[in-house]
Amino acid sequence: MTDTKNTVDPSPQDTFTELRGMVTQYAKQETVEPLKQLGTWAAWGLAGAICLSVGGFFIALGLLRFTQTEIGDGWTNGAESLLPYAIAIGVLMIGIGLAAWGMKRRPADLGGTSS
């Protein structure tokens, strides 16, 4: 015995409408949603960069004021007055160098597994 079903073949217009809906849904899934996630990731990265920049500024300002008041009582004449500024800039440059060095390291360098 053969089992025959009374199914009606969909019309070409119905097939096209279904195909268009599937393609639209797939395009949203593969483009729009990852872009939203990327935007969220970039927003958190920007917020972190701003916080680190403000923190670095205040650390440098505090170091500058510390060297001017506590250490640099005799550094008020001539070229010696620039020494606290040079110290603060030097510490900032060391911090920037350490951050750049940390960004260049790969996960394999840290002892993790790379995929």
18 in a structural domain? yes
> Residue 65 pLDDT > 80, yes or no?
yes
Domain that holds residue 36: 13-106
59 in a structural domain? yes
35 in a structural domain? yes
75 in a structural domain? yes
Distances (CA, A) of 38 to 28, 69, 107: 14, 46, 22
Least Cα distance to 52 among 93, 104, 96 occurs for 96
The tally of domains found in the chain comes to: 1
Give the percent of the chain with pLDDT over 70. 81
5-57 residue pLDDT tens: 666 677 888 888 999 999 988 888 888 888 888 888 899 999 999 999 999 99
The pTM of the full predicted model, rounded to 2 decimals, is: 0.60
